[in-house]
A and B are shown apart, each in its own frame.
Chain A
Amino acid sequence: MKNPIIEVHNLTVSYNKRPVLWDVDYELPPGQLIGVLGPNGSGKTTMLKTIMGLIRPDSGFVEVMGKKLDEVRDKVSYVPQRESVDWDFPANVMDVVLMGRYNPKHMFRRLSKEDRELAVAALEKVNMLPFAERQISQLSGGQQQRVFIARALARQADLYLMDEPFAGVDAASEESILELLTGMKAEGKSIMVVHHDLQTARNFFDWIILLNTSLVASGPVNEVFTEQNLQAAYGGKLTVLSQIADLVASKAFPLREKGLQDREKL
């Protein structure tokens, strides 16, 4: 692959000696919307944290834009899972979004007018500008999530890693944020999103990573969304499997024929 935005090679990560990512290896094309799918506990959050340098892998390595993360940190923006912070913290929405503008090289300098303008623009994009002065403890879950997205946008990065940015976000907001992400893609940004809804994932992402401790598949959406792959990722979970079967059946995609052919061969 030419100029991959993220390269992950032979990555193994464990907590207390128990591996939760096992020999994961892939390269991702730039300028795409990339979905990361997998059941709970399949290592999605761990993978994002490892890419962001928060967890040290047992083996393997990660390169972002062909470099070590530290060299390109300014160009990378991360949205953590919402539950990872204490929302009773005394801060307002603007304070949190402005954190996206913090730069380790200028920690002792005050934020500039431009920083504030970028934060305002980011809030506007997620329809949260009217809440700019609201204390974060007084937000609903979906609004908190949008504040986190705004903070990531304010960073003006080229690569975005988002951990379940749509958890608890209502359908209308989800759609407007998805549109926003599509617009960012058109500007050449790369966006990697951990997501749970297979339906939107299939309609929306260009590239899919299917994860279940080891890498099940990584590739263009039509190639990855096969029954076989989904079964390998989610296998054994009856309800999920039947949903996936419905999903595959309800879509007249070429891959369905491929799926049928596979089945006839059996």
Chain B
Amino acid sequence: MNEFYTILTGSLVAISCSLLGSFLILRKMAMVGDAISHAVLPGIVIAYLLGETREMIPMLIGAAAFGVLTTVLIELFHKKARLQTDASIGITFTFLFALGIILISAFAGQVDLDQDCVLYGDIAMVPLDLWITDAGLNLGPRQVWILGVNLLVVLAFILIGYKGLFITTFHEEYAATVGIAAGFWHYSLMSTVSLTTVVSFESVGAILVVAFLVVPPATAYLLTEKLPVMLGLSALFGVISAILGNMLATWLDGSIAGAMTAVAGGLFLLTFLFSPKQGILMRLKFR
């Protein structure tokens, strides 16, 4: 049963992240998830200082708020200072992360937290944190429920907003000339990414989240030139990585998140070598 929950958790994270990540890599913002994973630190510290608790909910709210702030700053530096998105991402998250560290050291006496234990969960622990009702009913791991709801939010957002995401990702400027609010779509996407990354790190840790945001979409991108197919394939690769990664971890008796990430990377490498369209080996063969 634990194994099932581990795979389920991994798959829920994988699907949410790879669907959103597909839009991020097409917008050349793949590393925004990595940025958020660092930049939320001050949000957590502030939530802790204000609430003086280590309750999950205020911390999640603080983290998500800083996640959104991160994307706002990235966009601001990119649009107003005309900085490339990658530079703008780098500046923003190092700055916010540093702010978090300063807050922790300034309030050293009061703050008893570091982001490893508060923010970054471990997928191996998920099946242990069960949600048991007052009547004693066991509903399974709490995280699975949270991640399940998050996936529904992501799916609804992409299905309902597909046209808006499609046109603004292809060309923001053209979308604006048609009268579509490009900013609305940008920030809706970024808020969804922020929410997803925050609830996902909390369950499975940062590396796995960043990997699922980037690697399965990049793999799918090599295989197709149709956006809906790319979305489907990247979700599929994410789930395969979760399943095979869990097997690998059991076999090696090693880190589950590490194994899932490694499998995702392995799938990318295989695709890079053997994809019928862009694969290196195919190109060599036909040269």
Binding site for B on A (CB under 8 A): 49, 52-54, 70, 73-74, 76, 78, 80, 84-85, 89-92, 95-96, 99, 102-104, 107-108, 111, 135, 137
Contacts and interface: CB of A to CB of B under 8 A. Distances in A.
Q: Which of B160, B174, B175, B227 has the most CB of A within 10 A?
A: B174
Contacts of B285: none
15 contacts: A52-B176, A53-B177, A54-B173, A78-B177, A80-B177, A84-B173, A85-B171, A89-B169, A99-B174, A102-B175, A104-B178, A104-B180, A107-B161, A108-B163, A111-B163
A107 B180 CA distance: 8
A85 B171 CA distance: 6
Nearest to B159: A108
Contacts of A80: 171, 173-174, 177
Given A90-B230, A102-B167, A73 B173 contact: no
A54 B79 CA distance: 13
A85 B227 CA distance: 16
Interface in B163-191: 163-164, 166-167, 169-171, 173-181
A6 B163 CA distance: 30
Contact of B225 (A52, A90, A102, A111): A90
B8 interface: no
B170 A54 contact: no
A104 B226 CA distance: 23
B171 A84 contact: yes
B225 A137 contact: yes
Contact of A107 (B163, B173, B225, B229): B163
Nearest to B164: A107
Contacts of A78: 174, 177
B26 to A, nearest CB: 6
Interface of B: 26, 160-161, 163-164, 166-167, 169-171, 173-181, 221, 224-227, 229-230
B176 A96 contact: no
B225 A135 contact: yes
A201 B163 CA distance: 37
A132 to B, nearest CB: 14
B227 A91 contact: yes
Contact of A99 (B160, B170, B224): B170
Top 4 A-B residue pairs of the complex, sorted by shortest distance between their CB atoms? A135-B225, A104-B179, A78-B177, A73-B179
Given A90-B221, A90-B230, A104 B171 contact: no
A54 B226 contact: no
A125 to B, nearest CB: 20
Contact of B226 (A52, A92, A102): A92
B179 A70 contact: yes
Nearest to B28: A86
A209 B227 CA distance: 41
B170 A96 contact: yes
B178 A89 contact: no
Given A99-B170, A104-B181, A54 B176 contact: yes
A52 B178 CA distance: 9
B180 A52 contact: no
Given A73-B178, A89-B26, A89-B169, 8 more contacts: A49-B173, A78-B177, A84-B171, A85-B171, A95-B166, A102-B167, A102-B178, A137-B225
A54 B171 contact: no
Given A107-B163, A137-B225, A89 B170 contact: yes
Contacts of B177: 52-54, 73, 76, 78, 80
A88 to B, nearest CB: 8
B160 A53 contact: no
A99 B195 CA distance: 29
Q: Which of B175, B176, B178, B221 has the most CB of A within 10 A?
A: B178
Contacts of B227: 90-91, 95
Contacts of A52: 176-177
Contacts of A135: 225-226
A50 to B, nearest CB: 12
Nearest to A135: B225
Contacts of A89: 26, 169-170
Nearest to A161: B177
Contact of A90 (B163, B175, B179, B224): B224
B28 to A, nearest CB: 8
A78 B179 CA distance: 12
Given A90-B221, A108-B160, A135-B225, A53 B170 contact: no
Contact of A53 (B169, B175, B176): B176
A37 B225 CA distance: 37
